Structure 1
Amino acid sequence: MRMPLTARRPDGGDAGRGDGVRTRLRAWLPTGPGTGILSKPDRWAAVVALALVAAAVLVGAALGWAGHPVHAPAAPLFAHVMPHVGPGTPFAVVIAILVINWGPALAERLPWRRLLLAGWVASVAWTFALALVDGWQRGVAGRLTTPFEYLSEVPRVTDARAMLRGFTDHILLFSPDNWAEHVSAHPPGVLLVFVGLDRLGLRGGGWAGVFCILVGAAATAAVAVTLRALGDEAAARAAVPFLVLFPGAVWVGVSADGMFMGAAATALALFAVGLTRPSRWCAVLGGAGLAGCAYLSYGLVLLVLPAGAVIVAARARRWSMLAWAVLGAGVVTGAFTWLGFEWWEGYRLVKVRYYQGLATARAYSYWVWGNLAALAVSAGPAAAPVLRRAVVQVKAAVRLRAAPPGLTVQFGAARTAPVLLCLGGIAAAVAADLSGLSKAEVERIWLPFAIWLPAAAALLPASDRRGWLWLQAGTALLVNHLVLTNW
């Protein structure tokens, strides 16, 4: 859809009637990709992403054959090549077909609250179906019960306050009674979540897996709420089918990182509503939620980048709402610190612990770009053209700011919120990548960032979206049936 343009002088006259104004305007307008329905550049963007994945596969295999393994059996994914089908296969195929054929139309017509509920239910169904391709025990109930996972440490926590006070004493690999791998690599918030489920009587891997899927699937509704709060309900509705068929759902079911994705998206949604409604309670809860995410995973401190995108997209003028959000974040941070866990000390020790394991053997020279290939798989083929179009829109905005004085150019189809959130998500992933503290396994670790790429599906031409949905669903089905994921 070509973006409608109008150009006017400051006096309100039609610029097209002025002396040479139309010529000047043409000189400053963006041309080429992004100014209309240009499917070919979009396809080339997806081809580039596919080439990146193929290169990561071939180079990873070649390094292994040469005696320099990258320590990921199905690099760039942390999985084992094991073609298989399971009880979830027919359900996943049927759900994909239903969402692709009827999802976009329903997303446009359903009342808002029904759309959010339908999106969440469809996401739960899609994620469960993908997980059940591996069977109930291997795909859901057994995922979080291995010796490396959180549930192995739940019986050890008999006093939460004492656990928090002494948590950092057990992070390093050779410390007395060191925590299991995933517990030691994260702040104690996530362990407390599973301890809480256990105390409520929801014990074992089955309940933990179901909980992660239910919370992770909430990202579909939360992302839509964020886009609508920032003034683009059409973009929110366009995004819902893409959020439902998010290929990253392969790792949402089941990993704690899927839960992190849902929690992070919900916190950002509350934050956006707090800034735009405005609402003190939503701002406080949004700030508290964002801070709480940092106590689930150290890397989620990078949510500051998508949160910054929310602030810019909201054109926040009520700085008091930001103050309320900071207050909420301060309460969570203060509570954990008062209870005995110092985040900054935990982070310092985790950086040491990280290089006591496989990270030492995983070459940064491979993973600094191999990670991006894993992200391309998790976010899906549509992410590349979405990102391309977001960059094009930013370039266009920059060029127009430099336009000759006396011209005001309005882009009727510009989509500020999805563009900024998409770029905020990719910026967080790139920052994590360059840190050197993310080498492999990012297809699940970066789920809270990856979800913001398909969230900007409204940037794609409406006539092309169903085709991209087919590719998104096909990627998830191919990955889930070709490899057996480790988490």
Structure 2
Amino acid sequence: MIRTPSTTPSRGLRRDVRAAGAAALLVVASVLAGRHIEDTSRTLFVDWPPLLASWGPHLGPGTPAAVLVAVATVAYGPGLAARLPWRALLPAAWGTATVWILSLALVDGWHRGIAGRLTTRHEYLRVIDRFDDIPAALRGFTGHILLDSPDNWPAHVAGHPPAATLTFVLLDRIGLRGGGWAGMWCVIVGATACVAVLVAIRALADEALARRAAPFLVLAPAAVWMGTSADAYFAAVAAWAVALSALAVTRRSPGWAVASGLLLGLTCSLSYGLTLVALIVAAALVLGRREVRRRPVLPAALLAGLALVPTVFALAGFDWWEAYRLLVTRYGQGAGGIRPYGYWVWADLACAVLITGLATVAGLRRTAAVLVRHRTGPRADLRLACLVCAALAALLVADLSGMSKAETERIWLPFALWLLPACAFLTRPRLWLAAQALLALLLNHLLFTGW
């Protein structure tokens, strides 16, 4: 039986619409202010602020499939999510999310939308041949981070720990060479993130809320940037780290805790900024604190797993802290040192609205209401609200840090996915799903996105 959020329907919907309207105004303000800044000083380094995109209305081979998936999910998604057996719901969600991401990517065609994305001059595949000797490449990795260093790494390679690049090196080594395979890896693995979030919600809150969230996780506007971006792959690894920590505390399993720690360690070795995912993992442990107190081996096992991946890289000669210090310097050497913090600190929040959708903004309003009435509301609602708030806190810390000015439509994917479950609190799910689908379709068909 699917539980409907307890609120006066008409009053709650009006408040939801007002919250969504305020978020839409934030986006409009960021576009107008960004356009003015870029026209006068050209310090934003994006063509269609606040997004790294250019105006270009177009259709493509993925258009019919994208529209079909959107219509079908809006019409049948909530009902199927309520009725399907749990073991069938998870692969159905993964499959639908994969098709949604792929169809949106193919609006730009196979090469521009998928195969060519990870082969541009800033991307990982440009340095595959420099990893013929992997141990030597790891030992010398930090020597190529700064812009004035010899043979400096492309932007994305320099901007991430080497596990990101090694992923594509290993794909190349097993015969999955080129941008097509790399792009499909990111799409297929990235689409599993929605499954991980559902697993975590069911474990930490309840199954009814997970089922209500499922269509929104599948039809997320973030899919525009998940095909094809390595950050979609990072988001999936981070999501499974959280999901396994949730299983560890609810199933009292040290094995799940070790696995969660391993994935969290890998997450930190894929992206420096994703150390903030630890806030979401910590929220999962706090929600399972009774089991953590009874079995202190669980956090110990998680920490043991967490230490393993960074230790392996350290023994191989890669100094994470030194690399991060050099990255901060390189960030100041390039566009990051010129882009105005005063614009991006709020315009990046407009990017977050675009990747999560107006439904998520309305859901966050309801999340706040759940926290206000925490003494009288359902316990499962409060637990989900706490998980969502942990993700929001991680995103806000990333925003205030100033280390992700611009391009957050892809950089913040690992945090944004954990805001989407707030939509489980909404009434009129089909109305909000339609708004989500329309936003994604408009973004993908009106703009040529950079990622």
TM-score, length-scaled by structure 1: 0.89
1:415 is paired with a residue of what secondary structure?
A: helix
Q: 1:180 aligned to 134, 139, 154, which one?
A: 154
1:93 aligns to what? 67
Deviation at 1:125, TM superposition (A): 0.2
1:356 aligns to what? 333
1:465 aligns to what? 429
Q: 2:342 aligned to 365, 389, 405, which one?
A: 365
Q: Does 1:346 align with 2:323?
A: yes
Q: 1:278 aligned to 232, 252, 256, which one?
A: 252
Q: 1:453 aligned to 419, 432, 448, which one?
A: 419
Structure 1, residues 268-297: CA drift from partner, whole Å, max 9, x if none? 111110111011111101011011101100
Where in structure 1 are there 5+ consecutive unaligned residues? 5-32, 401-409
Change (3 A) 1:251 1:331: same
1:203 aligns to what? 177
2:167 aligns to what? 193
2:386 aligns to what? 420
Q: 1:167 aligned to 136, 141, 154, which one?
A: 141
2:123 aligns to what? 149
Structure 1, residues 431-452: CA drift from partner, whole Å, max 9, x if none? 0110110100001000000011
Q: Give the conservation status (yes or no) of the 8 Å contact 2:52–2:406.
A: yes
Where in structure 2 are there 5+ consecutive unaligned residues? none
Deviation at 1:34, TM superposition (A): 8.6
Q: What is the aligned residue count?
A: 446
Q: 1:480 aligned to 444, 447, 451, which one?
A: 444
Deviation at 1:456, TM superposition (A): 2.4
Matches of residues 369-388 of structure 1 in structure 2 within 5 Å? Answer: 369-388=346-365
Q: Give the conservation status (yes or no) of the 8 Å contact 2:31–2:48.
A: yes
Q: Does 1:430 align with 2:396?
A: yes
2:276 is paired with a residue of what secondary structure?
A: helix
Which structure's residues are more often helix, by fraction? 2
Structure 1, residues 317-343: CA drift from partner, whole Å, max 9, x if none? 332211100010011121111111121
Which segment is superposed worse, 294-303 or 263-272?
Answer: 263-272
Q: Give the conservation status (yes or no) of the 8 Å contact 1:60–1:69.
A: no
Q: 1:228 aligned to 202, 209, 234, which one?
A: 202
Q: Does 1:214 align with 2:188?
A: yes
Q: 1:390 aligned to 358, 362, 367, which one?
A: 367
Q: 1:62 aligned to 22, 31, 36, which one?
A: 36
Change (3 A) 1:393 1:34: farther
Change (3 A) 1:2 1:273: closer
Deviation at 1:311, TM superposition (A): 1.5
Matches of residues 71-150 of structure 1 in structure 2 within 5 Å? Answer: 71-150=45-124
- Which of structure 1's runs of 4+ aligned residues deviate more than 4 A? 1-4, 33-37
Q: What one-letter code is carried by the residue in structure 2 that aligns with 1:369?
A: W
Q: Give the conservation status (yes or no) of the 8 Å contact 2:5–2:425.
A: no
Q: Give the conservation status (yes or no) of the 8 Å contact 1:34–1:392.
A: no
Deviation at 1:417, TM superposition (A): 3.0
Q: Give the conservation status (yes or no) of the 8 Å contact 1:280–1:324.
A: yes
Matches of residues 311-350 of structure 1 in structure 2 within 5 Å? Answer: 311-315=285-289, 316-317=292-293, 318-350=295-327
Deviation at 1:35, TM superposition (A): 9.6
Change (3 A) 1:126 1:35: closer
1:42 is paired with a residue of what secondary structure?
A: helix
TM-score, length-scaled by structure 2: 0.96
Larger Rg: 1
